[in-house]
Structure 1
């Protein structure tokens, strides 16, 4: 299949199907946890959205509680949808790390 043929097929899809494909490809291309950083002395060295103090585990926990991505973007206006994609990719790549951080936070709250 040529690039032109693929482009024609993509343009024939519904808007929601095209959005899904863009999201799917973005997630696969961002698997290197681009945009995520760990800085000693900031947020306990936890993985955060680059340039912020928003921990990946916090976003994952919010998502597990049923908070939508739209709501997260509204609650944290200085992050972008791409930051959430990067956070989800990081969480998928390091599930034990995220689960441990969520568990540690739950113990602190209790």
Structure 2
């Protein structure tokens, strides 16, 4: 999937949500930790089985998702 080799989806892990390398660590958890001010070093200290590239790729994946285009619908006239 577009070079996101660390982002996995498995219906048996976290209900199929985007996870890091099949672990029970979701992309949304990592993004929330960063959004709340944690550095990559602090995250890795709290989750020592993560690697810096895991965090980097999670952020790139979310940025890619945010690139979607919104097409407004034309108003329907009766």
TM-score bin, normalised by smaller chain: 0.7 to 0.9
Match of 2:37 among 32, 57, 66: 66
Using the size of structure 1 for normalisation, the TM-score is: 0.55
- Tell me how many residue pairs correspond in the alignment: 66
TM-score (norm 2): 0.76
Please state if 1:45 is matched with 2:2. no
How large is the Cα RMSD of the aligned pairs?
A: 1.6
Whether the 8 Å contact between 2:10 and 2:22 is mirrored in structure 1 is no
- Give the deviation of 1:52 after TM superposition: 0.9
Unpaired stretches in structure 2, ≥5 consecutive residues: 68-78
Q: Which runs of 5+ in 1 are unaligned?
A: 1-30, 97-110
Question: Which position in structure 1 is the counterpart of 2:73?
Answer: none
Higher helix share: 1
- Which is bigger in relative contact order (C-alpha 8 A, separation at least 6)? 1
